[in-house]
Every structure is written in C-alpha cells, then in structure tokens.
C-alpha cells in the first residue's frame, strides 16, 4: 500500500456537552495540526499516488469552513460534541468526497483509504481511518462489493 501525507492546521473554539468533559464544557480554544494520509494500492502511469500540491489545496479547502470558527455556531455540527476524534471523522469524510467527485484529480479516483490525524499537542492526538467508498452506496458487510 502506498501513502502520501499532507499537513495543515486549524484554530477553533468549541465547548462540549456532558459532565464527563468537566471544564471543557465551557467555551475554549484549540489549535490542531491536521495530517491527511491518502492510501492507494498502486501508483498511476507517472508513478504518483496523487498530486501533492492538489492534495494540500484540497485539504486547505476542506479546513477553511472550520478554521478560526466557533464550532458550536456551525450548523454542520449542530447537536454534536466536536471532539478531536469526531473532527477527524468529519475531515476524513470531506476528503473522501473530494476523491470521489474529482477534486483530487484522476489520482484521487485511485485512493482507497484516508487517515486523518489531529495533533492537539505534542502529547495528545487522535485519528480516524476509513475508506473512500461512499458509505451510502457501499455493499453491506459480508456482501460482495
């Protein structure tokens, strides 16, 4: 399996619902280093997985709507606790959609998996890894694809 990773960052504000979050129930800020790892079983005819510059541009476009925002006020996150783990899922799904709809060029169509890792600090991070396939059209577990 080949992989290519690009990195960016976001600064957000948010709060959490639930006593388990203690003081994080209050509005607070976070800065995340965002790593997006694209995976594919083969390279194209030019021996590329995807174009690095295009991958960086698409990652920035995916992050722009949440960068420097209070996520509590963003409709896309209504009713959600925007934990580091949940933000990984959200970003991965947006990048997978970009592969499917051509925003990552022809190389994006060969990407089979994406891992998104958010580093909250040098001692804490979270990640989500998932397929590029559209979950609404994927075959049920155990069924042929």
CA distances from 92 to 8, 20, 82, 118 (A): 14, 26, 14, 11
Whether pLDDT at 35 is above 70: yes
Give me the pLDDT at residue 134, please. 79
Is the Cβ–Cβ distance between 112 and 42 less than 8 Å?
no
Contact 26, 15 (CB under 8 A): yes
Which pLDDT score, from 0 to 100, does residue 27 have? Answer: 94
Asked if residue 145 has pLDDT above 70, the reply is no
pTM metric for this prediction: 0.90
State the average pLDDT for the chain.
Answer: 92
Closest CA to 73 of 38, 122, 27, 39: 27
Least confident of 13-17, 105-109, 126-130: 105-109
User: What is the mean predicted confidence (pLDDT) over 55-84?
Assistant: 97
The answer on pLDDT for 41 being more than 60 is yes
| Per-residue pLDDT at 137 exceeds 70 | no
Tokens found for residue 73: 């006020």
């Amino acid at each position: 399996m080949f992989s290519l990773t690009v990195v960016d960052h976001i600064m957000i504000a948010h709060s959490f619902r639930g006593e388990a979050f203690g003081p994080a129930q209050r509005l607070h800020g976070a800065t995340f280093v965002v790593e997006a790892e694209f995976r594919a079983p083969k390279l194209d005819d030019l021996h590329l997985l995807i174009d690095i510059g295009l991958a960086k541009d698409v990652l920035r476009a995916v992050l722009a709507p949440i960068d420097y925002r209070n996520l509590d006020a963003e409709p896309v996150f209504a009713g959600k606790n925007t934990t580091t783990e949940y933000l990984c899922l959200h970003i991965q799904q947006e990048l997978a959609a970009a592969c499917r709809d051509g925003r990552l060029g022809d190389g994006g169509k060969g990407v089979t998996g994406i891992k998104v890792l958010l580093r909250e600090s040098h001692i804490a991070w979270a990640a989500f890894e998932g397929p590029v396939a559209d979950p609404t059209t994927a075959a049920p577990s155990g069924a042929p694809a």
